[in-house]
Structure 1
Amino acid sequence: MEVVLASHSYLAKGMYETVSLIMGEQTHLHYLTAYVEEGVDFKDQLVALTKSIKNEQIIFVSDVIGGSVNNELVNFVKSNCNYFLVSGMNLPFILELLTYTNELKNESVNQVIDNLKTTVDVGRAGLKVVELDDDPISEEDF
């Protein structure tokens, strides 16, 4: 199972580099940066990357639902039942996804979708509003 992070500008590259820092190099993780270079078509990048990937199943993670990158991926994913798309990229989700990706090799499409739904819940749980009190943080707090 391969994972492709795709975003406007450099978000996907930044996530890729952050994941590499935390988890080490991930050979099944790739990224696409849209609208970075003038004259470079995102769909052309997408087609070239998927042709270079040997694995049949690919999970695409886009930055924002309804954005141009996501919309292009929606149309692309429809063409292959072994392609999956999750919108709303965040680091907790990506880390969780990569921890079980290697276990998904022989799962059915329905099993992959169920696992993705669970992983999305983990990503949501990683979003918190941090409320700070008016007291300054002291070194004793650490």
Structure 2
Amino acid sequence: MNQLILASHGDFARGARDTISMVLGESAMPVHVVSLLRDDTESIRDRVSALLQSFSPDDTVYICTDMLGSSVNNEMLELMQTDGRVKVISGMNIPLILTLATAQQPLLDAELAQLITDARLGICDCSATLSQQKAATTVKLETTQKQKGVQANKGPANISLVRLDYRLLHGQVVFSWMNTVGAERIIVVDNAAAQDEVRVSALKLAKPAGVRLNIFTVERAISKMDKLNTLGENVMMIFGNVRELRTFCESYRIDVINFGAAANHEGATPVGGRDTSVFLDAAEKADAQALLDMGISIYEQQTPTQAKTSILAF
């Protein structure tokens, strides 16, 4: 089994754990927090040592620290020298922790090295990256125009998840759902976002490496479904609101929809399980009921680790 310890000065580690709990729900691996505070009477090394004694001899223990060269990291390195189960990783960030928290098996050395490389990519100058994206988009359009018409038919797409989520593409989607369903392409369907260059740029920055992303209006998404079925990809679709989801489903058959998140607002009430993030007003409930009336199954589930709540009526 894997064990994950976040060790830092102050409350940085505790805040990181709170963040991944919001993204993942209950993660597959317990996440332990040890903080170095000014008024501590027990050393952080002793507290981590006590944690290590509570683990199984067969566990692999990842200790993520806040900074290379810090007193916290130095003490963890001393522990690593005396316990062969321990691997210390300095300079933790959220992408690194999220991946470790969902790892089912101990990582090979090469896998851990790649994980650290990927985590570093999460630190970027967004303004420079957006400029590079615009230049790359221009080249891609020119290349596509030259190659148009030579795409081979690869078979129907597998739409592995259709999700309602007003936040569109964000941490829960990138780190939880995408890995769970094995998506090769993400299609965001939202009229407002698709026509807003700033939002389109931000969504492209959030796209995971190696995954294709489209941001469509409802009308354009409907028009693209025939082409999508020639690509043979595993596809995840994300809709920003119930009304547009209903409009799409009136033209293209969907069997199951995941209600993940709908923002709370005046006149809205919670829908789903106890810890739901779905809030719908009367008009939105009418649209959702129309989906049920089409024979579509709807369930509320924010993250893959949370229990599903089937919704039978609105």
Instruction: Give the TM-score band, short-chain normalised.
Output: 0.7 to 0.9
- In structure 2, list runs of 5 or more residues that go unmatched: 131-194, 200-314
Give me the CA root mean square deviation: 2.1
Runs of 4+ in structure 1 deviating by more than 6 angstroms, as ranges, are none
Describe the superposition over 1:45-84 as per-residue Cα deviations: whole angstroms up to 9, x where unpaired: 1112212233521011110000000000000011122210
Partner residue of 2:3? Answer: 2
- Bigger Cα Rg: 2
How far, CA to CA, are the matches of 2:121 and 2:109 in structure 1? 19
How far, CA to CA, are the matches of 1:9 and 1:86 in structure 2? 18
Give the residue type in structure 2 aligned to 1:87: S
Give the residue type in structure 2 aligned to 1:118: Q
Partner residue of 2:117? Answer: 121
TM-score, with structure 2 as normaliser: 0.39
How far, CA to CA, are the matches of 2:52 and 2:39 in structure 1? 20
TM-score, with structure 1 as normaliser: 0.81
- Aligned to 1:81, what secondary structure does the other structure show? coil
- Aligned to 1:33, what secondary structure does the other structure show? strand
1:113 Cα deviation (Å)?
A: 2.1
Q: For structure 1, which segment, 114-123 or 36-45, has the greater mean C-alpha deviation from structure 2 after superposition? A: 36-45
Q: For structure 1, which segment, 39-48 or 7-16, has the greater mean C-alpha deviation from structure 2 after superposition? A: 39-48
Is 1:98 paired with 2:94?
A: no
Identical columns (%)? 26
1:25 Cα deviation (Å)?
A: 1.9
- Matching of residues 1-142 of structure 1 within 5 Å: 1-26=2-27, 27-35=29-37, 37-54=39-56, 56-99=59-102, 101-104=103-106, 112-131=108-127, 140=196, 141-142=198-199
Q: Which has the higher strand share?
A: 2
1:117 Cα deviation (Å)?
A: 0.5
Q: Which has the higher helix share?
A: 1
Are the counterparts in 2 of residues 10 and 36 from structure 1 also a CA contact under 8 Å?
A: no
1:28 Cα deviation (Å)?
A: 2.3
